Structure 1
Amino acid sequence: MTTDSAASHANPSLAGDESAGVARRRIPARLLIIGWVMLLMFGVLLVVNLATRQELHNEVDEEVGQALVQEIEEFVGVAAVGVNRSTHLPYSNVAEILDSHLHRQYPDDDEVVVGVLPDGSIVRQNRGEPYPFASRPDRVREVVADQSASGSLHTEDGELRWRKVSVTPPEAGMNPGTFIVGFAIDRDRAEVVTTMRTLTMVSVVGLLLAGVGAYLVSGRILAPIRLVRNAAAEINETDLTRRIAVTGRDDVSALAEQFNAMLDRLSLAFQSQRDFLDDASHELRTPITIIRGHLELMGDDPQERVDVMRLVTEELDRMSRLVEDLLLLAKAERPDFVVPQEVSVPELTVDIHSKVRALGDRRWLLDSVGEGTAEVDPQRVTQAMVALAHNAVGHTGPGDEIRLGSALHDDPSGRPSVSFWVTDTGPGVSPADQKTIFARFHRGSRPRETTGYRAGAGLGLAIVSAIAQAHRGEVKLTSVSGEGATFGVELPAAAPLERTTS
């Protein structure tokens, strides 16, 4: 272990400070946006500048090449006629051909038109010499000696692109001359450099303006995100009231809406968790207090010890049932809580009826039996129906009628559904209790004292609701106070869930 790592293990606060330092060194999103925009703009402008430069150079080369070809073709055309345009007589020698053509030329500042006689002497137009190439016989002879019809010559005054053609003498047996046309391209290239310098300056200004625009636009775009970040920083488990004002219709506004919806769900989840823990702690505290009190007051009388042990055993059994119910509700959030399979509804109904008959001395009747099959979890459905029957037993007396039934039908949307229900003849459920009776630890009207039934922790109906929701179904309650109640579950018969078994 190195000294730094040992120090981090020995001093957790140091490791925390290092982690905080890493978090503080994160690059802001606004800076990232500006950086990426400017990098993209830089890449685009670089490509534009390089492509423009290459295109301008290509245009210079193409224009020079076309001009050289044009001059050569013009001379060849004049020479091919074979008649002096001044005297209207046939050419007598190479010098006359070259002199006749050169005296009619008006070269540009960067253009060279030169004739070379068979003896090597140079003939050029007499209107000045814009480009000092013809005054250098050695360079002219260098071009004449070149075997190529065109080429490039680097002179003291820059690069010269040239093209030449052999001049055939009028009489056979005489040596030919040479006609040379050249263009100095440095000035054109200098104009390209000037153009590129201007384009580069404009690109730099455009890049800076793009950076300023990215700074302003990113600020507006990231404003809701900063609100989300600030709101998230201010939220803790004791205060989930902060919300973000949504004023737009873009994706960022949608993010703010989803964040507000998430806070609503978190607030509800935290509140449910607090209520659940409060109720669970209260329910567990009661039997613990009873057990401790009786054990502390227990004397030496054998009968008293027997009574105390019986009471303690009952309270421990109640705590065990409560813990099992809590674990069951916790498992209801898992994807493998229900495992649907195709079952026969009549067989499942009869099987449930035979099991619930042992719950109490009641007149158990089969109300109706659905005919067909459904894809449900038979164990969970049986568990829900036993819980409903257990609840019915708690609110009826010996010999009272309890009806159990099932049915297959189509729900309002036309999908096949299966229903199971239990109907009792007890006191019914008040309208106020009907809204919350399936909540955890909720207790509605108390069970009849004459039944000998002991009230549970208020988790039975919550378990029924969890089983129905796991099937993507719902619980049903129909009751008139004083006339009994019908509790049931309605489940999709085709089981649209995609669950994996563990």
Structure 2
Amino acid sequence: MGGRAMRLRVTLTAVLVLGVALVAGALVLVALLGSVLTDQVCQDARDRVTQLSSVTGTDRPQSTSSELIQWTAVPGGGETLASPPTNGCVSVEPPGYPEDFVFAAAPLATGGDVIVGKPLVDVLDSTRFVRRVLVVGVPLMMLIVGGVTWVVTGRILAPVTAIRREVDEITASELHRRVPAVRTDEIGRLGRTMNRMLDRLQRAQESRQRFVSDASHELRSPIAAIRQHAEVARAHPGRTTVTELATTVLDEDVRMQGLVDDLLLLARSDEDHTEPPNTPVDLDDLVLAEAQRLRLATSLTIDTAGVSGGQVRGDEAALSRMIHNLADNAARHARSRVAFTLTESAGTVVLAISDDGPGIPPADRSHVFDRFVRLNPSRSRDAGGTGLGLAIVATIIERHHGTITVHTADTGGATLEAKLPPADSDSGRPRASTGPRAR
């Protein structure tokens, strides 16, 4: 229905524009034709009156059915047929005649004037014929153009109608379907654009389904562990103690709480498209505080010699969470040492956290920021975390218009490098392209 309405609007618009142009052109044509033919009759009258001005004696011709002639003895004297200007013509309807004549006058050598009138009947017949042709031809041409426009518009809009029908039938469970896009014009580009949009929607849905599946699996593990220990304690009270059962339940509960908190954070980040606060944040203070936490919680050597001043604008709590996750990731894989560096140069604040662990293979670096990714599936869940830490890091950095990349550290381990715009940059903070990101 929408396509038919558009065809009708386009056709009516084309016919209306053409009709206005044709009517205006017809009026101009008739006016010019009448003017040209009248000028020609005037010229004939002037030529005739010039010829008669030299006639003398009794050989003066008189009026005929196709020509009016009047001779006057005194210039301008007596009642004349008309009073044409010198070297010009005048168009009047003389008494006793049903049509206009064009009159021209010339003085006689013997005194007086000669006036010659030529009828305009041929001019009127010619213009009348042209008007009749235009009265029939203009509507006929408008009808032809309207029909052609209707057919051509229908053929042009047919692919759009097919695209609309296909998109209208696509549901959330049929995102694999695509619209026809075989043409090379704008309609074909529209179809290909729609297909790319459907590709993105399909990937987003698949990613969401994987996320829900992974989240369900991760939540099932601590629940299953709690249930298993509880069933063993109830069936065989002598095999465990209340303290052991309470410890197991508390550990799994803490693990489950951490997972739920991470899931809620990612869910809020996916829904929140607002800019972070424009508050100045001293990253060096956050980095040094996180380094001190690692010194107290681990036996690793924590190097902060490369930490200098660096201030950005954003959400201090989120940036602190980002540094915390990066530090935990480095400590989890380090053998003996974690190094923090923070510099500001070339309009960028660069935070790098390195470890001396096994490193990250280049083939896996594009996936480490995906959700629920564990590059080493053989390690325990307690050591491996929830698989959401680096995904949260990528989300926070992207929201602050930064980038996050992975490199090989000087010690052979991994260096995760985050780049953020400094606090004194443009407050508009145009969105920068990111490196590996959570998907």
TM-score after normalising by structure 1: 0.65
Q: Which residue of 1 aligns with 2:166?
A: 231
Aligned partners of 2:342, 2:429: CA distance in 1, in Å? Answer: 25
1:63 aligned to 40, 57, 64, which one? 40
Q: Which residue of 2 aligns with 1:278?
A: 213
Q: Secondary structure at the match of 1:44?
A: helix
Q: Secondary structure at the match of 2:339?
A: strand
Aligned partners of 2:127, 2:428: CA distance in 1, in Å? Answer: 69
Q: Is the 8 A contact 2:325 2:390 kept in 1?
A: yes
Q: Which residue of 2 aligns with 1:441?
A: 372
Aligned partners of 1:418, 1:445: CA distance in 2, in Å? Answer: 31
Aligned partners of 2:309, 2:46: CA distance in 1, in Å? Answer: 95
Q: Percent identity at matched positions?
A: 23
**Correspondence 1:186 to 2:138:** no
2:276 aligned to 321, 324, 337, which one? 337
Aligned partners of 1:186, 1:306: CA distance in 2, in Å? Answer: 120
Shift of 1:309: 8.3
Aligned residue runs from structure 1 range 238-253, under 5 A = 238-244=173-179, 246-253=181-188
Query: Aligned in 2, Cα 1:111/1:262: closer, same or farther, shift over 3 Å?
Result: farther
Q: Secondary structure at the match of 1:457?
A: coil
1:357 aligned to 276, 279, 292, which one? 292
Computed over aligned residues only, the root mean square deviation of the Cα atoms, in angstroms, reads 4.6
Q: Which residue of 1 aligns with 2:436?
A: none
Q: Which residue of 2 aligns with 1:40?
A: 17
**1:152-201 Cα deviation digits (max 9, x unpaired):** 2276753223547697896xxxxx97744323223321111212333454
Shift of 1:336: 0.3
Q: Is the 8 A contact 1:160 1:184 kept in 2?
A: yes
Q: Secondary structure at the match of 1:102?
A: coil
Aligned partners of 1:303, 1:102: CA distance in 2, in Å? Answer: 145
Aligned residue runs from structure 1 range 268-417, under 5 A = 268-284=203-219, 310=250, 314=254, 317-318=257-258, 320-330=260-270, 334-337=273-276, 339=278, 348-349=283-284, 351-359=286-294, 360-366=297-303, 369=306, 377=314, 379=316, 380-396=318-334, 400-408=336-344, 417=348
Q: Is the 8 A contact 2:367 2:373 kept in 1?
A: yes
**Correspondence 1:198 to 2:175:** no
**Correspondence 1:498 to 2:428:** yes
Deviates more, 1:234-243 or 1:275-284: 275-284
Q: Is the 8 A contact 2:283 2:310 kept in 1?
A: no
**1:449-487 Cα deviation digits (max 9, x unpaired):** 6xx95654322101211233335543222469x964322
Aligned residue runs from structure 1 range 124-143, under 5 A = none
Aligned partners of 1:472, 1:113: CA distance in 2, in Å? Answer: 97
Query: Aligned in 2, Cα 1:289/1:113: closer, same or farther, shift over 3 Å?
Result: farther
**Correspondence 1:476 to 2:405:** yes
Aligned partners of 1:154, 1:367: CA distance in 2, in Å? Answer: 116
Query: Aligned in 2, Cα 1:448/1:256: closer, same or farther, shift over 3 Å?
Result: closer
Shift of 1:319: 5.5
**Correspondence 1:78 to 2:7:** no
Aligned partners of 1:154, 1:441: CA distance in 2, in Å? Answer: 106
Q: Secondary structure at the match of 1:63?
A: helix
Amino acid in structure 1 at the alignment position of 2:68: V
Amino acid in structure 2 at the alignment position of 1:392: A
Aligned partners of 2:279, 2:96: CA distance in 1, in Å? Answer: 94
Deviates more, 1:225-234 or 1:471-480: 471-480
2:67 aligned to 111, 123, 127, which one? 111
Q: Is the 8 A contact 2:279 2:313 kept in 1?
A: yes
Deviates more, 1:176-185 or 1:29-38: 176-185
TM-score after normalising by structure 2: 0.73
2:387 aligned to 447, 458, 462, which one? 458
Aligned partners of 1:457, 1:305: CA distance in 2, in Å? Answer: 23
Q: Secondary structure at the match of 2:54?
A: helix
Amino acid in structure 2 at the alignment position of 1:102: P
Aligned partners of 2:125, 2:285: CA distance in 1, in Å? Answer: 101
Q: Which residue of 1 aligns with 2:92?
A: 152
Q: Is the 8 A contact 1:394 1:447 kept in 2?
A: no
Query: Aligned in 2, Cα 1:327/1:265: closer, same or farther, shift over 3 Å?
Result: closer
Query: Aligned in 2, Cα 1:339/1:288: closer, same or farther, shift over 3 Å?
Result: farther
Shift of 1:52: 0.7
Q: Secondary structure at the match of 1:369?
A: strand
Q: Is the 8 A contact 1:159 1:184 kept in 2?
A: yes
Aligned partners of 1:187, 1:72: CA distance in 2, in Å? Answer: 20
Query: Aligned in 2, Cα 1:43/1:370: closer, same or farther, shift over 3 Å?
Result: farther
Amino acid in structure 1 at the alignment position of 2:258: R
Query: Aligned in 2, Cα 1:221/1:295: closer, same or farther, shift over 3 Å?
Result: same
Shift of 1:387: 1.1
Amino acid in structure 2 at the alignment position of 1:337: P
**1:228-266 Cα deviation digits (max 9, x unpaired):** 223313322112233355455433332222222222222
Query: Aligned in 2, Cα 1:476/1:497: closer, same or farther, shift over 3 Å?
Result: farther
**1:345-378 Cα deviation digits (max 9, x unpaired):** xx63354122342142243533653767675647
Aligned residue runs from structure 1 range 261-272, under 5 A = 261-272=196-207
Q: Is the 8 A contact 1:437 1:461 kept in 2?
A: yes
Shift of 1:58: 2.2
Q: Is the 8 A contact 2:330 2:353 kept in 1?
A: yes
